[in-house]
Amino acid sequence: MSTSLKPFNTFGIQANASRIVIAQTVQQLNEAWNEAVSLQKPVLILGEGSNILFLDDFIGTVIVNRIGGIEVTEKDDAWHLHIGAGENWHHLVEYTLQQNMPGLENLALIPGCVGSSPIQNIGAYGVELKKVCAYVECIDMRSGETHRLDNKECQFGYRDSIFKHDYQNDYAITAVGLRIPKLWQPVLTYGDLTRFDPATVTPQEVFDAVCHMRMTKLPDPRVNGNAGSFFKNPVITAEQAAGLLSEFTDMPHYPQADGSIKLAAGWLIDRCELKGYQIGGAAVHRQQALVLINTANATSQDIVKLAHYIRQRVGEKFNVWLEPEVRFMGVKGEVSAVETIA
């Protein structure tokens, strides 16, 4: 059996694992984990590898989570969905539209599995997972016990959750519960969506527009390996934002509930004239500066060097220091992405 991780990461980076296991049930996942632990080997649980950069060969077992299934319960005010962690996210969005359960259309074409969605608290075009997430089920691999964390317990933040912190190690997400309200309210605050009339727009029109925006601006990972948005949109103080806006009057900026200001990382990179900039086989995408692509057999070090260069250029010009959204994986497990590119 091949131990190459290239088919299991959308960056298309060549790296190997000591062992790869495809788990289609919770039992298979738990057994593979216990076997690796008994051999004192590191374990990594992977979805579709759409938000990961392998820096080196992984010296342990990689378990590919393919737990499937979609269960729907209809209530008076909402649909309640229980989805296996290994289901493809975009296929879920399509399924809900086909079943006349709108509400996920702004999150169309986000790559990855359903089980990965709460880790990052995925979001796009004004909607985040936390808006519809009712609970996340995970298994404590040490005891085999299943835990169900409700929305509040997940501690969702911007591209953040408890699954990046207290529940990062020794836990595996097995299912996600969504609550989709029957009273559909379109979110039309970003991009081409602002052109629609909220009184007449349909869920399908929003879905089609989101797909069009993503397909025209973002590269297909089957053609040019990538992990989607490489950097988080930085959040800065209102005072710092005011200083930048006095100099860069056209700078996109989004006030947050706590008074801070979110900036568009892609705009900052673009203003440094870095679209198309290349190091080795890694390059900044020409249509969307927030995406780094594997143009031709890029190594992980090509991507790290390119990310470092971008971070330095943006930091020197704006005094804003970008942080990767992509998770960096070393020989034994996750390492600090910020420290790696600093």
Note whether 170 and 42 are within 8 A (CB).
no
Which residues are part of the catalytic machinery? 159, 229, 325
The widest CA-to-CA distance across the chain, in whole angstroms, is: 60
Sequence-separated (6 or more) residues with CB below 8 Å from residue 169: none
Structure tokens at 174: 């097995």
Structure tokens at 80: 């309640």
Residue type, 219: P
- Annotate the chain with three-state secondary structure: CCCECHHHCCCCCCCEEEEEEEECCHHHHHHHHHHHHHCCCCEEEECCCCCEEECCCEEEEEEEECCCCEEEEECCCEEEEEEECCCEHHHHHHHHHHCCCCCCHHHCCCCCEHHHHHHHCCEECCEEHHHCEEEEEEEECCCCEEEEEECCCCCCECCECHHHCCCCCCEEEEEEEEEEECCCCCCCCCHHHHHCCCCCCCHHHHHHHHHHHHHHHCCCCCCCEEEEECECCCEECHHHHHHHHHHCCCCCEEECCCCCEEECHHHHHHHCCCCCCEECCEEECCCCCCEEEECCCCCHHHHHHHHHHHHHHHHHHHCCCCCECCEEECCCCEECHHHHHC
278 pairs with which residues across the strands? 283
